[in-house]
């Protein structure tokens, strides 16, 4: 009986500790360095951030008047009559994305030109004044419905910078923007991501607009509480380039010094709202050196955006400049494989279809990924780690179960005796970020018959880490976790073989 009481108490304490975890931490002036590191190791994603991170692959659709003018940034003076996709088929867009492994799409409901892809009540500058479907069409609805039908997430891009609205530059613009947001968040079912672009080309003598971000966030939280707010928003950070590459060391916990400390302390919510300020482009955002001087910490994970083409919008003369399948594979390794979510843009053409040239590349890219990741050569390995527990969780294909160390040790060695002698050149690791991001340094060694040799090494892991290295043939490897902010966790481990693709991937290999 006593045994059950203790078990119950332990379970209750564990659940309580879990429920206590937040996606931010307040740092007190009296906190020591080790207390700050402990706090950082216990910051976790909010449920909406965790759902988003698990998507790995998300897809952008840039579509609008620019598709018809050939511009990248419209002026806002375009005649709505130019918008006339003759074969628009949103099911084809979403199917193309789904077939390539994407889990969610984001549509440019309004780009900087202010042209709205839905028949909004807020402006005449929209599809309702275009010849497309005699002004009765609604691109947002067609894409939202296609996503629902094909079980894909759906998000919207609504550009804060609006070169058409007569309100831009006045207080009324915030009311106008809230009305647009309200329409989009009320009439199209579930919205999973709201993307606020930071771009503004007004220049020093242009219109000045103060965006009421706090109000916008409140509207989103009220109407679509599950949606993440990206870029100029509190949930998802812009990785800092538009190349699709994440940092070698990518921490999801970063300083949040612009947070209102008093508000956080009294905040009973599980996650907070804050506007990103400061430089998010540096090489190092979350190392010990960065966080020990912080006043607050926040879970703020990176999204790596990139276009499959040179431009964000479709231009016919770029049909032969689509990134190669090998380049896209390299991007995959350095975005998803570096603790980021990839947001890849595939712009529909003037007819309103994803072009065959893009589809062809996407098929080849998907095949390259499948060929590598279909066969985990660690499957069936015998796992041992002297100071670790739940080793079997590493190969059970379940993200939520995880290996960790017994007495909260911050280093460990995990040995894998492979089922067969195998040749591999890719390592995959996944930390259980629902517990926190902790691993700071690791190394993979292999047994060459006489001794241990280093295969590769890395710093952060996070949701997913992929490392490529030269071919290794062995039946025994060991993963050394050399440094961690608290007891490390690992959900999954994988060893894969990447066949030579004849590209210059090798230079990325270690
Ligand atoms: C940028 C914009 O200016 C581009 O046109 C594009 O939408 C990209 C995703 O973000 O800031």
pTM: 0.93
Q: Is the pLDDT of residue 432 over 50?
A: yes
- Do 354 and 491 fall within a single domain? no
> Does the C-beta of 31 come closer than 6 Å to ligand 1?
no
Tokens read off for 298: 């926040």
Query: Is the pLDDT higher at 499 or at 18?
Result: 499
- Do 233 and 333 fall within a single domain? yes
Residue among 75, 200, 312, 314 whose CB has most ligand 1 atoms within 8 A, to mutate: 312
Q: Say how many Å lie between the CA of residue 501 and the centre of ligand 1.
A: 32
- Do 405 and 315 fall within a single domain? no
> Does the C-beta of 312 come closer than 6 Å to ligand 1?
yes
- Which residue among 373, 403, 435 closes a domain? 373
> Does the C-beta of 199 come closer than 6 Å to ligand 1?
yes
d(CA 195, CA 257): 23
In a domain, 157, yes or no: yes
Q: Say how many Å lie between the CA of residue 199 and the centre of ligand 1.
A: 7
DSSP run (H or E) holding 403: strand 403-405
Residue with structure tokens 């999204």?
303
- Do 106 and 184 fall within a single domain? yes
d(CA 206, CA 466): 44
In a domain, 43, yes or no: no
The CATH number covering residue 458 comes to: 2.60.120.260
The pLDDT of residue 357: 97
- Do 206 and 353 fall within a single domain? yes
- Do 414 and 368 fall within a single domain? no
Per-residue pLDDT, averaged over 229-236, amounts to 91
- Name the residue range of residue 367's domain: 55-252+301-373
Please, what's the largest Cα pairwise distance for the chain?
A: 78
Q: Is the pLDDT of residue 279 over 80?
A: no
Per-residue pLDDT, averaged over 152-171, amounts to 97
- Do 329 and 462 fall within a single domain? no
Closest CA to 132 of 93, 90, 86, 92: 86
DSSP type of residue 126:
B
- Do 319 and 454 fall within a single domain? no
Q: Is the pLDDT of residue 7 over 70?
A: no
- Do 473 and 330 fall within a single domain? no
The answer for residues whose C-beta is within 8 angstroms of residue 38's C-beta and 6 or more apart is: 485, 486
Q: Is the pLDDT of residue 181 over 90?
A: yes
In a domain, 132, yes or no: yes
Q: Say how many Å lie between the CA of residue 68 and the centre of ligand 1.
A: 17
- Do 322 and 419 fall within a single domain? no
The CATH number covering residue 66 comes to: 3.20.20.80
In a domain, 387, yes or no: yes
The pLDDT of residue 95: 98
**CA-CA distances (angstroms) from residue 174 to 169, 213, 275, 359?**
10, 9, 16, 39
pLDDT tens by residue, 281-325: 888 899 999 999 988 899 999 999 999 999 999 999 999 999 999
Going by their DSSP bridges, the two strands 388-389 and 104-110 should be labelled as: unpaired
Q: Is the pLDDT of residue 195 over 70?
A: yes
- Which residue among 373, 406, 425 closes a domain? 373
In a domain, 2, yes or no: no
The pLDDT of residue 407: 86
Domain count, the chain: 2
DSSP type of residue 213:
H
Q: Say how many Å lie between the CA of residue 326 and the centre of ligand 1.
A: 24
- Do 140 and 177 fall within a single domain? yes
In a domain, 14, yes or no: no
The DSSP line for 225-262 is TT-EEEESSSSBEE-SSSSS---SS--SEEE-TTS-HH
Q: Is the pLDDT of residue 265 over 90?
A: no
- Do 360 and 386 fall within a single domain? no
- Which residue among 313, 348, 373 closes a domain? 373
Q: Is the pLDDT of residue 270 over 50?
A: no
């Amino acid at each position: 009986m006593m045994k059950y009481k203790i078990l119950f108490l332990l379970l209750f304490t564990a659940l309580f500790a879990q429920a206590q975890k937040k996606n931010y931490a307040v740092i007190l002036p009296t906190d020591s360095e080790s207390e700050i590191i402990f706090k950082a190791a216990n910051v976790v994603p909010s449920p909406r951030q965790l759902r988003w991170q698990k998507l790995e692959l998300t897809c952008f659709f840039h579509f609008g008047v620019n598709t018809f003018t050939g511009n990248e940034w419209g002026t806002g003076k375009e005649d709505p009559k130019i918008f006339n996709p003759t074969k628009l088929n949103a099911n084809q867009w979403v199917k193309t994305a789904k077939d390539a492994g994407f889990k969610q799409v984001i549509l440019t409901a309004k780009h900087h030109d202010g042209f709205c892809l839905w028949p909004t009540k807020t402006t005449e500058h929209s599809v309702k004044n275009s010849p497309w479907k005699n002004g009765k069409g609604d691109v947002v609805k067609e894409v939202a419905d296609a996503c629902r039908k094909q079980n894909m997430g759906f998000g919207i891009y609504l550009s804060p910078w609006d070169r058409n609205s007569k309100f831009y530059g006045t207080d009324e613009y915030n009311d106008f923007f809230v009305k647009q947001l309200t329409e989009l968040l009320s009439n199209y079912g579930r919205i999973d991501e709201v993307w606020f672009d930071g771009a503004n080309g007004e220049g020093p003598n242009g219109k000045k607009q103060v965006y009421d971000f706090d109000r916008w966030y409140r509207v989103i939280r009220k109407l679509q509480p599950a949606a993440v707010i990206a870029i100029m928003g509190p949930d998802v950070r812009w990785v800092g380039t538009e190349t699709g590459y994440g940092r070698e060391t990518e921490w999801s916990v970063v300083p949040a010094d612009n947070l209102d400390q008093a508000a956080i302390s009294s905040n009973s919510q599980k996650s907070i709202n804050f506007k990103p300020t400061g430089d998010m482009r540096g090489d190092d955002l979350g190392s010990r050196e960065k966080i020990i001087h912080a006043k607050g910490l926040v879970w703020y994970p990176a999204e790596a955006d990139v276009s499959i083409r040179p431009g964000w919008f479709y231009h016919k003369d770029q049909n032969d400049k689509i990134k190669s399948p090998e380049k896209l594979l390299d991007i995959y390794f350095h975005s998803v494989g570096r603790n980021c979510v990839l947001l890849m843009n595939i712009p529909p053409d003037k007819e309103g279809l994803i072009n065959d040239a893009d589809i062809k590349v996407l098929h080849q890219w998907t095949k390259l990924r499948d060929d590598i990741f279909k066969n985990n050569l660690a499957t069936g390995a015998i796992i041992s780690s002297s100071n670790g527990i739940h080793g079997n969780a590493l190969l059970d294909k379940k993200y939520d179960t995880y290996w960790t160390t017994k007495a909260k040790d911050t280093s460990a060695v995990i040995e894998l005796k492979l089922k067969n002698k195998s040749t591999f050149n890719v390592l995959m690791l996944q930390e259980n970020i629902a517990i926190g991001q902790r691993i700071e340094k690791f190394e993979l060694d292999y047994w060459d018959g006489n001794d241990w040799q280093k295969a590769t090494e890395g710093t952060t892991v996070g949701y997913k880490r992929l490392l490529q290295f030269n071919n290794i043939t062995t039946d025994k490897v060991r993963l050394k976790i050399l440094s961690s902010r608290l007891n490390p966790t690992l959900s999954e481990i994988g060893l894969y073989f990447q066949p030579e693709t004849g590209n210059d991937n090798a230079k990325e290999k270690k």
